[in-house]
Amino acid sequence: MRKNKIFLTTLKICQVNIEKSVTDVSHKMSILQLPGNSNCMNWILGHIAVYRDVMLMSIGMDWCFRSNSRDLYAYGSDPIVGDGNCVQLEQILEAINESFDILNKWLEGASNESLSSNTMKDISVFGPKGKSLEENFAHLICHEAIHVGELTPLRELALVSAGKGWK
């Protein structure tokens, strides 16, 4: 199997699970917090949008998450608490969907040679996650998959708290 197909398959699985996780979830529901100092769905999705942009930047594409609040979702940022200091869920999802479309199209045409290239575009804002596009994509897509897995209990929290029951 070509490397691009592995990345494509994994990214598509993440995207499908993101879409399932946000079905019937409102912005207000996305900022509900589990006990403790954990991240809400809004933060996790914003974080995914930020790191999808890192993948886009590494192949010379423009950012999709066009928000002045990007720092709210960067590594090490504080959890989102309440509705006052976060990006609307719909805006985050637009960026995630747009970045998926661009990455999907790019990866469909990527060769093993282009992925093994050490000539990533400048992503100094975040620092590269490997020496090649291949290593960068492997790290970032695995990182995304970890966060996608965190969405399930947050979806349950959102639906139960809205009286919709767990679906």
Kindly report, residue by residue over 121-148, the tens digit of the pLDDT: 655 555 556 678 888 889 999 999 999 9
Pick 128 or 16 by higher pLDDT. 16
Please tell me the total count of domains within the chain: 1
Q: Report if residue 20 sits inside a domain.
A: no
pTM of the model: 0.91
Average pLDDT over residues 20-26: 95
Q: If you average pLDDT over every residue of the chain, what do you get?
A: 88
Q: Report if residue 107 sits inside a domain.
A: yes
Q: Report if residue 21 sits inside a domain.
A: no
Phi, psi for residue 20 in degrees, rounded to 5: -65, -40
Under 8 Å between Cβ of 81 and 41: no
Q: Report if residue 13 sits inside a domain.
A: no
- In tens, the pLDDT along 52-101 reads 998 998 888 988 998 778 889 988 888 888 777 899 999 999 999 999 99
CATH of the domain at 80: 1.20.120
User: Looking only at Cα atoms, what is the longest distance across the chain?
Assistant: 51
User: Which residue segment(s) compose the domain that 60 sits in?
Assistant: 27-161
Q: Report if residue 47 sits inside a domain.
A: yes
Terminal-to-terminal C-alpha distance of the chain: 35
Q: How many residues does the chain have?
A: 167
Pick 75 or 21 by higher pLDDT. 21
Q: Report if residue 128 sits inside a domain.
A: yes
Tally the C-alpha atoms within 13 A of residue 130's C-alpha that lie toward its C-beta: 19
Q: Report if residue 166 sits inside a domain.
A: no
Q: Report if residue 144 sits inside a domain.
A: yes
Pick 129 or 106 by higher pLDDT. 106
